[in-house]
Amino acid sequence: MALGAGSTVSSGRSVSAVSTDYTEVLRRLAINDEHFTEECSTGKRNDSVQLDPRTLALVRLGALVAVGGAAPSYGVETDAALSAGATTAEIVGVLVGIVSVVGVPCVVASAPSLALALGCDLEDALEQPPTR
């Protein structure tokens, strides 16, 4: 269902009052505008990100899990999330929140890297039976 000018979003505000720039962002991504995507990937296009730093950091952690990111990347993104005010419970909650989308194998594979990034030693924990 497409929203046009004058339509309302869940907040009750009209689409034109929220921002019509999202349609331009979607258009430029859909056509693979190389200049635009280059600016996005290098961080020069932060004006198109309408997320607060905490939320963005948590989203980036979820994306890292989805693509099977390298262990050092978890450290960088975890540090960014903590610096932006996310709690360790929220960071771990990302794994639980995305398991139905990315699958159990992705989450299981990423858990040790995330644990390491949070300074948690899983060696002892892996030898203990799970608590219920």
What are the boundaries of each domain within the chain? 15-47, 51-127
The confidence score (pLDDT) of residue 48 equals 64
Question: Whole-model pTM above 0.85?
Answer: no
Reported as a single tens digit per residue, the pLDDT across 16-50 is 434 448 888 888 889 999 998 888 887 777 666 67
User: Is pLDDT above 50 for 128?
Assistant: yes
Q: What is the mean pLDDT of the chain?
A: 83
Max Cα distance, the chain (Å) = 58
Residue 6 has pLDDT above 60, yes or no: no
Q: Find the mean pLDDT for residues 82-97.
A: 96
| Identity of the amino acid at 40 | C
